[in-house]
Chain A
């Protein structure tokens, strides 16, 4: 059944409904909505509202089976009795160390500094290790790109380490071979090349951000002067590079300090996303948090074609087709006094927006910044640089540094040259270093055909992927947690990557592979990295090396700002908009496809669509109505002579005439569950149109595809009877402007005439009060800082051994995330505002779950936790039914993988792995609370504020989550709870939630949105 039922509905009627639904609430009307279904009354919406778990057998269907049932019941009771009473504990063994390693104590987690080699620059981490097994990554506070936080993809890397689908051996033509044979084969192949000075040798790598690897490659090229090294990263920065070359005549990278920016204009730059968004989010959030009497908010304008977390965080978001952002940039630049051509095309909406933005930017000279996204052509980047120069921003809000790549190059052009060489028969030996061009190369280059012409093809990577299938040799790569290496952050700071565990499958590092090609065959990665550093550091090397490895950052390695001088440049004529526009984005979860076999990321609801396990053809509600498609209808996308089929996703906030395709899916060799999942957007991505293409056509195929979206799950804004509880809405989301906040922080979010709901019932309760223990744990989540980046969801999964359930189970509403991020729309379907609300367990003081448990498996702790005792739980699910916040999760099946040996290594030993038939939920990371309490009480003191950091709080790049003792008036959490805009979710139910929220405050420009 398709989720939406009225595809052919008249558009005019729809618009009216929307307007009705989104009129400013006056007590009765509904303001916030989560899916188009509910605006239009779709069936799946009702289905998920009425039942806690919509697709469960709620009665035995077959009439004659009552006796059968009793028989089975009797038998199982008898068996239960037997197994419970007559099993003696099995013997367990202890494997003692023969010689214990230094500083290991059983049960004590150790943290080691390392760094994640992202192509956008390293992210420093502290890796938690239990008896030599890395289990979790946490940000390194001393690392300039991390500042203590990480992102969702970084969190999921631990699962990748233990992925049983990783490549485990060296192979030659698919047959198991050895590393020594590989080295010998390389020596032979290169021997033939010596006389030709390596003219037939090519190396294709991803973006190299490791100084040692770059040095090795340069040395290799010195050995074989006619060999070539090419870098290809599907999510490259060719446009940023082109823009810098255009504006400054040199390739530089813009580092923006968002904490200094009063006004930010993003030209389709999703700067808050991904590993590179961690520092940006940290800085940005400092200017978004408002406290009573201290509201120094920045203002963010975003123009983009499809909603992103950056757009959702904006005060003004303009949905534009990607190609039209150019015109907006020209108009703003012109208004700022930059001489531009082609800014004259009349467009009332753009003109109004551009005028207001330019005025605002100008008013904050020196504290304003313009950033352009990679999807925008080079000249838009150049325009952004020119505007920044005009705004006196250079050296203040933005500084320019050399690019993080060691050899910056135009990736598409370099790859084109390589393909030409291969086609011309110039290449005899090609080494693919941790890159998958067969899958990711632009379709028109026909990379695979060219590749097949190379005599010896070598693939080095973590997985046997599409490229491996077309290569002779394959060398299994070591995970970064198994490797020695070094890596540079975007500000130049170098970190040493140290291994946390010996390679599980004897994988090799890129250093060792390149060494095998050069005259240093057989050298270990450790020796290679150390040798390079010895040369670089010279005097006093040993002490500096130890310090660098220990700290995770190397002193004095950050870039000096590049000397830049703006040059005049010509703008191309504005591109005419023609037909439907296609945009390509890396998937928010699995990126360019490299994380396809990572279950944590596949099951992560994407921030804006809440889709899991799929990519979709994303189009606007108007475009969908025009085409007559609803969510899940398979559409055919044609671009030139190329076409693909994928399920439609109707996305509120998507620009009209712009269709978004997500990269990373549709892989043909990506392991057991990711192969053939979704469609392959690379099929339409040509070298000339890497990020957007015009002239696409869309047609309905009549087929449908089930999309596993969680947007309709766990509804808290409606009652189980399916009745919209409009009055509840201001007990769930509170949003208002900063102007009104300063005047009246307690009711600033109310529409005129709207009555305030919420507030508890004082001490009135039919239950006796709980004892109040030594501490009272509580949490505050700042909705103004949260960007919906999803890092907390994955961090929670890693910390709490949360299982992956698969697409089928997600379709049934059985995803297991203990913290979810509810996304709401507010406004019209075409131009909604988008809000995010992370929902962990509220740890109610009057908890509805506790009173209904027949076996006391969930009970109230003296410190205010709603404790969940898995070994007591018999699985009645009454508690989940009675939870108004829908935060409880039930193991309908044995979701936890008890069978795969490698996964056992990665689990957090401090948290029980739950079995089938057991309820589970967030307990504020009780294992961390217990650890801190034991430590403090052993020392005869109380737990200090900040001593307990929950996993979601630790990972949050926005510092949106505060946790601590609410009875300690000096604690951070108590101070936040005293803020006037602090509120509890659905407080009128008198649950007295310990988790509360700070209302969202926006900072709109009065010129664009007269304050209500």
Chain B
């Protein structure tokens, strides 16, 4: 019986074994990389809202404190989205007839919710707690970025677990004094003449930061 395969098929089969591995590895790595792209994480993507609220004006220009609106941030897991009543506290006086604010007035008038789109959206199986982070000295800016420079809000960081864990493994890189938690663009070197590492290690001790990396801290 004549040979069906020529001798060259040996090489071919060897190459395909290696090749298949290479292709699989490439696909795998590409997938892993794809998951980290800003396209997938949707970070850096300004999100249009029902009211074009600008943080850069309210925080950057006017200098409102974060807690003016996000009242629960020091006490609760959720920072809280302000009720329309909070907006109306000022806007029944200033810009009270501005057409851009009509949805807010309508909400207050009719007692209906303003429907915001979540910018910082964690999956349902993640239980994040704002209050403990603030108590231990993590500034808003560390996760949310320079909110004072965002006309429309976007997500500054991916909020991937990898990103969370990176900080939880080295929290000293992001800790600040209690009175600077809500400050934007704070620099330890300029303010205190200390490097972040130095300051971070000090605060780590002062605040008894016990950064947790076990699963049930966030997943349950």
In the complex, what residues of B have CB within 8 A of residue A106's CB? 72, 76, 78, 80-81
**Chain B residue contacts of A926, Cβ below 8 A:** 216, 220
A636 to B216, CA, bound (A): 53
Partner of B76, one of A107, A872, A923, A940: A107
Minimum CB–CB distance for A418 against chain B, Å: 48
Q: Which residues of B contact A91 (CB under 8 A)?
A: 117-118
User: How far does the Cβ of A904 sit from chain B's closest Cβ, in whole Å?
Assistant: 12
A89 at the binding interface (Cβ < 8 Å) = yes
Encode B61-89 as 1/0 by CB contact (under 8 A) with A. 00000000001100111101111110000
Residues of chain A within 8 A of B71, CB atoms compared: 105
Q: In chain B between 109 and 168, which residues have their CB closer than 8 angstroms to a CB of chain A?
A: 110-118, 121, 123-125, 127, 129, 131-132, 135-136
Residues of B close to A99: CB separation below 8 A: 83-85, 108, 111
A932 CB to nearest B CB, Å: 12
Task: Give the chain B neighbours of A89 by CB distance below 8 A.
Answer: 42, 121, 123
Q: A85-B31, A92-B118, A93-B117 are in contact. Are A871 and B216 (CB under 8 A)?
A: no
Q: Contacting A934 at CB < 8 Å: which of B34, B108, B132?
A: B132
- Give the most central of A97, A105, A923, A937: most B CB within 10 Å: A97
A96 lies within 8 A of B82 (CB):
yes
Instruction: Check if A767 is an interface residue, CB within 8 A of chain B.
Output: no
Contact A107 B77 (CB under 8 A): yes
Q: For the complex, is B214 an interface residue (Cβ under 8 Å from A)?
A: yes
Pick from A89, A98, A868 the residue with the most CB of B within 10 Å: A98
A904 to B113, alpha carbons, bound, how many Å?
20
Mask for A870-882, Cβ within 8 A of B = 1, else 0?
1110000000000
Residue contact B121 to A92, C-beta cutoff 8 Å: yes
| A934→B130 CA distance, assembly (Å) | 10
Quick check: B115 and A93 within 8 Å, CB to CB? Answer: yes
Among B82, B85, B108, B115, the residue within 8 A (CB) of A95 is B115
Is B107 positioned at the interface, with any CB of A under 8 Å from its CB? yes
User: B75: which of A98, A105, A862 is its contact (CB, 8 Å)?
Assistant: A105
B112 to chain A, nearest CB (A): 6
A911 within 8 A of B: yes
Is A61 in the interface zone, CB < 8 Å from B? Answer: no
Q: How far is the CA of A105 from the CA of B208 in the complex (A)?
A: 27
Q: Of residues A94, A869, A923, which shows the largest number of chain B Cβ atoms within 10 Å of its Cβ? A: A94
Map CB proximity to B onto A926-962 as digits: 1 under 8 Å, 0 otherwise.
1100100010011010000000000000000000000
A871 x B111 contact (CB < 8 A) = no
Complex Cα distance, B114 from A100, in Å, reads 12
Q: Does B16 contact A (CB under 8 A)?
A: no
B190 interface residue per 8 A CB criterion: no
Q: CA separation between A100 and B77, bound complex, in Å?
A: 18
Contact of A98 with B115 at beta-carbon distance under 8 Å, contacts A106-B72, A106-B78, A862-B214 already known: no
Q: Give A105 to B35 CA distance when docked, in angstroms.
A: 34
| A108 on the B face (CB < 8 A) | yes
State in angstroms the CA–CA spacing of A862 and B212 once bound together. Answer: 9
- Asked if A719 lies at the interface with its beta carbon under 8 angstroms from chain B, I say no
A912/B125 contact (C-beta < 8 A), A930-B217, A940-B208 known:
yes
Chain B residues positioned under 8 Å from A911 (CB to CB): 220
User: Does B14 belong to the interface (CB within 8 Å)?
Assistant: no
Contact B116 A871 (CB under 8 A): no
Min C-beta distance of B162 to chain A, whole Å: 14
B7 CB within 8 Å of chain A: no
Question: Does A938 contact B135, Cβ atoms closer than 8 Å?
Answer: yes
Contacts of A93 in B (CB 8 A): 115-118
| Complex Cα gap A910–B112 (Å) | 26
Q: Does A867 count as interface, using CB distance less than 8 angstroms?
A: yes
Instruction: Tell me if A67 counts as interface (CB < 8 A to partner B).
Output: no
Please report which residues of chain A, range 105-151, place their CB below 8 angstroms from some CB of chain B when the two chains form the complex: 105-108
Contact A912 B42 (CB under 8 A): no
Q: How far is the CA of A978 from the CA of B11 in the complex (A)?
A: 71
Which residue in B27, B84, B216 is a CB contact (below 8 Å) of A923?
Answer: B216
Known: A867-B214, A937-B132. A923 touches B72 (CB 8 A): no
CB pair B220 A774 closer than 8 Å: no
| CB of B40 closer than 8 Å to a CB of A | yes
> A859: shortest Cβ distance to chain B, in Å?
6
Residues of A within 8 A of B72 (CB): 105-108
CB distance from A177 to the nearest CB of B (A): 30
Between A89, A860, A910, the greatest number of chain B beta carbons within 10 A of the residue's beta carbon is seen for A89
Within 8 A of B (CB), among A268-313: none
Which residues of chain B (28-49) have a CB below 8 Å from chain A?
31, 34-35, 39-40, 42
Note all chain A residues with C-beta closer than 8 A to B108.
Answer: 98-99
Instruction: Name the A residues within 8 Å of B129 (CB-CB).
Output: 930, 934
Are B127 and A774 in contact, with the CB atoms below 8 A?
A: no
With A96-B82, A930-B220 known as contacts, the answer to whether A867 contacts B113 (CB < 8 A) is no
A59 at the interface (CB under 8 A from B): no
B220/A98 in contact, CB under 8 A: no
A64 at the interface (CB under 8 A from B): no
Alpha-carbon separation in the docked complex, A805 to B81 (Å): 38
A76 CB, nearest partner CB in chain B, Å: 16
Question: In whole Å, how far is B15's beta carbon from the nearest beta carbon of chain A?
Answer: 22
Q: Which of A92, A100, A871 contacts B219 (CB 8 A)?
A: A871
Distance between Cα atoms of A186 and B80 in the complex (Å): 49
Q: How far is the CA of A865 from the CA of B215 in the complex (A)?
A: 10
* Closest A residue, CB atoms, query B72: A105
A249 and B118 CA atoms in complex are apart in Å by 70
A873 to chain B, nearest CB (A): 10
Min distance, Cβ A699 to any Cβ of chain B, angstroms:
54
Q: Identify which of B85, B127, B136, B215 contacts A859 (C-beta below 8 A).
A: B215
Cα-based distance from A774 to B123 in the complex (angstroms): 28
A88 at the interface (CB under 8 A from B): yes
Interface string of B178-214 (1 = CB under 8 A from A): 0000000000000000000000000000001010101
Q: Quote the shortest CB–CB distance from A869 to chain B (angstroms).
A: 4
Minimum Cβ distance to chain B for residue A231 (Å): 43
Q: How far is the CA of A169 from the CA of B27 in the complex (A)?
A: 57
Judged by a CB distance under 8 angstroms, whether A12 is at the interface is: no
Contact B84 A98 (CB under 8 A): yes
- With A93-B115, A910-B127 known to touch, is A861 a contact of B214 (CB < 8 Å)? yes
Given contacts A93-B117, A95-B113, A98-B112, contact A105 B220 (CB under 8 A): no
A97 to B83, CA, bound (A): 5
Report chain B residues within 8 Å CB of A869. Answer: 215-216, 219
Inter-subunit contact B220/A107 (CB<8 Å): no
Q: Which residue of A lies closest to B74 (CB)?
A: A938
Q: Is the CB of A912 within 8 A of B83?
A: no
On whether the beta carbons of A108 and B76 are closer than 8 Å, the reply is yes
Q: A107-B72, A867-B215 are in contact. Are A94 and B81 (CB under 8 A)?
A: yes
Residues of B within 8 A of A940 (CB): 208
Q: Which residues in B have their C-beta under 8 angstroms from that of A913?
A: 124
CA separation between A86 and B33, bound complex, in Å? Answer: 12
Taking a contact as CB atoms under 8 Å apart, the answer to whether A96 and B78 are in contact is: no
Q: How distant is the Cα of A108 from the Cα of B135 in the complex, in angstroms?
A: 17
- List 20 A-B residue pairs with CB atoms under 8 Å apart, sorted by A's residue number: A86-B34, A92-B118, A93-B118, A97-B113, A98-B110, A99-B108, A105-B76, A106-B72, A106-B76, A106-B78, A106-B81, A107-B78, A108-B76, A861-B216, A869-B215, A910-B220, A926-B220, A930-B216, A937-B136, A937-B208
Minimum-distance CB pairs A-B, first 9: A867-B216, A97-B83, A95-B113, A100-B83, A106-B78, A869-B215, A861-B214, A938-B135, A107-B78
| Given A81-B27, A97-B84, 16 additional A-B pairs, CB 8 A | A92-B121, A94-B81, A94-B117, A96-B84, A105-B76, A106-B72, A106-B76, A108-B75, A860-B214, A861-B214, A867-B219, A870-B219, A912-B124, A927-B127, A930-B129, A937-B208
